[in-house]
A = this chain, B = another copy of it.
Amino acid sequence: MTCTAGELAQHLGATLEGDALATISGVASPELARTGDLIYLDSPRHRARAESSVAQCVIAKPGVRLARKTILHVSEPKFAFAKAADRLLPKHNFPSAIHPTAIVSPGAKIAKGVFVGPYVVVEEETEIGQGTVIEAFCFLGRGSRVGKNCRLHPRITLYAGSRLGDRVEVHSGTVIGSDGFGYVFGEGRHWKFPQIGKIEIGDDVEIGSNTTIDRGALGVTHVGSGAKIDNLVQIAHNVEIGEHSILAAQTGVSGSSTLGKNVVVGGQAGLGDHCTIEDGAMVGGQAGILPGKVVRAGQTVWGTPARSLEKFKEQFAWSARVPELAARVRKMEEDTSRRK
């Protein structure tokens, strides 16, 4: 979609300096931009990149001036750029159609404006909401439900009964609703604890590639609205992810753990079972939270076992100084023995 600099400034609440009629049709980096692309500048370090770009329109902080550019002044350029991209970039260009090779159960309820791609399998009692795109090789198990304006990229599995809200985007290879990992040992072997619960994904959730989210054992696995989950993340049975929480790549959340709202978990972090991560807490990359632990609201933790970031840093700094500390102890010991 195309708009003028003036229209976009109004949409962003930006103060415009320059040509209000300049046409903007996309977003880009300064180096790759064409004239009609919008770029942004959020640090004086990148000023030269913006100046030498052929892009006509630049989002920048108040007070920034660039020769021959039309500037949209905002306090948070990167945010405004993302918001502008949300308006400018086409969501997709899939037609309203069901590919002839898609196998769609006669009982499935498919709303209007839906695209179902080649070699998709949609089992019975399934619902797909208006405007949703289901790309090639997706499998929607019996009774699964996908809301409106979702996009399932190619090769996604929804196990039977999986529920996705509206505007959910799932990337290729991801598996939603598979059995949790629970066994009880007895009579010389592992007996599977029943994994027959539910899996519910809220609205506006984005899930990366090759991620796995297990259904509840007897209860529910729930991903709150607005949550964002990266690639290769593992979410176990009965986990609750709060709204707008962020989980970076390769993180694992063990069974029955609860994350509050606006939690941020770095890459490769591991949360033991029955943990509680309260609202707004941050878990550093590769951190390991012991089973049953509570990370308090707003707290930042790191390390394995995880502790507060301040404590981690202090302990880490000291651990680096143990050799020197040991040398001082040895010196005192020698002095003492000499004195005797």
Residues on B with C-beta less than 8 A from A185 are: 79, 244
B190 near A244: Cβ-Cβ < 8 Å: yes
Query: Within 8 Å of chain B (Cβ to Cβ): is A18?
Result: no
Partner of A270, one of B118, B136, B286, B332: B286
Query: Within 8 Å of chain B (Cβ to Cβ): is A260?
Result: no
Evaluate whether A285 and B270 lie within 8 angstroms (CB atoms) in the complex, with A103-B118, A194-B82, A208-B181 already known: yes
B121 near A139: Cβ-Cβ < 8 Å: no
A81 to B182, CA, bound (A): 12
User: How often does this chain occur in the complex, in copies?
Assistant: 3
A218 near B32: Cβ-Cβ < 8 Å: yes
Evaluate whether A183 and B82 lie within 8 angstroms (CB atoms) in the complex, with A189-B204, A336-B335 already known: yes
Closest to A328 in B: B329
Evaluate whether A181 and B231 lie within 8 angstroms (CB atoms) in the complex, with A83-B191, A193-B85 already known: yes
- The stretch from A107-115, A125-133, A245-253, A292-300 touching chain B is A245-253
B210 near A173: Cβ-Cβ < 8 Å: yes
Partner of A236, one of B139, B191, B249, B323: B249
Measured between C-beta atoms, what is the minimum distance from A157 to chain B in Å? 4
B210 near A210: Cβ-Cβ < 8 Å: yes
Query: Within 8 Å of chain B (Cβ to Cβ): is A2?
Result: no
Evaluate whether A285 and B286 lie within 8 angstroms (CB atoms) in the complex, with A86-B191, A329-B329 already known: no
A246 to B183, CA, bound (A): 9
Residues on B with C-beta less than 8 A from A181 are: 208, 228, 230-231, 248-249
A226 to B118, CA, bound (A): 34
Query: Within 8 Å of chain B (Cβ to Cβ): is A23?
Result: no
Query: Within 8 Å of chain B (Cβ to Cβ): is A209?
Result: yes
Measured between C-beta atoms, what is the minimum distance from A231 to chain B in Å? 4
Partner of A246, one of B139, B190, B208, B325: B190
Query: Within 8 Å of chain B (Cβ to Cβ): is A321?
Result: yes
Residues on B with C-beta less than 8 A from A194 are: 27, 81-82, 85, 89
Query: Within 8 Å of chain B (Cβ to Cβ): is A28?
Result: yes
Closest to A139 in B: B154
Residues of A within 8 A of B (CB): 27-29, 31-32, 76, 78-79, 81-83, 85-86, 89, 101, 103, 117-119, 121, 135-137, 139, 141, 153-155, 157, 159, 171-173, 175, 178-179, 181, 183-194, 196-197, 204, 206, 208-212, 214, 218-219, 226, 228, 230-232, 234, 236, 244, 246, 248-250, 252, 254, 267-268, 270, 272, 285-286, 288, 303-305, 307, 311, 314-316, 318-323, 325-326, 328-329, 332-333, 335-336
Q: A173-B173, A181-B228 are in contact. List 14 more A-B contacts (CB 8 A).
A: A79-B185, A81-B193, A82-B183, A83-B184, A103-B118, A173-B175, A181-B208, A189-B244, A212-B232, A230-B234, A252-B267, A270-B286, A311-B320, A321-B322
